[in-house]
Amino acid sequence: MNTFLEILKYILPSLVVLAATWYLVKAFLDHEENNKILQLKMDVQKTILPVRMQAYERLVLLLERLQPAGLILRTNIPGMTASNLHSALLQAIRDEFDHNLSQQLYVSVQAWELVKNSREETIKLINTAGSQVSTDASSTDLAQQILISDIDTSPLLANQAIEFLKKETREYFF
């Protein structure tokens, strides 16, 4: 039994030192891993933050460009028929939207839904106005009908979407 106690006197302190060393090394390695993860996140933020900000800027620009008055001014060419203008407006909306489709990666789901819904609302406004003018009408007649419909409707969803994007931008970046 004395031999067992003698061996225990040497082994027990060694086990305590081993356990303490293991604990300290593990704590150090965990701390280092957390620091590396934090540094990686900071590096990603440095890259992603400007891209996300640009996405919000581009979506606000998209929504502004989808406003009926500006869209008509950019699209209407003198001598166009209402049918030609109608097609050109819808194509311009499609092109603008398709050009900014990838921005949905950088904004919230709610923000993207508002952008999509405002596009749909603008298309609906143009289609409704297009159905109210005759097929042989001039582009001016269609433009007039679109602008009247735009004025008569409550504020466009695009304006609400722009305000939402501004609010979300302030929350994330400022």
DSSP helix/strand/coil, 79? coil
Max Cα–Cα distance, the chain, nearest Å: 114
Query: What mean pLDDT is reported for the chain?
Result: 92
In the predicted model, is pLDDT for residue 46 greater than 70? Answer: yes
DSSP letter string over 33-58?
A: HHHHHHHHHHHHHHHHHHHHHHHHHH
pTM as predicted: 0.76
Per-residue pLDDT reduced to its tens digit, 71-108: 999 999 999 999 999 999 999 999 999 999 999 999 99
State how far the alpha carbon of 45 is from the alpha carbons of 10, 36, 49, 62, in Å: 53, 14, 5, 25
- First-to-last C-alpha distance (Å) of the chain: 73
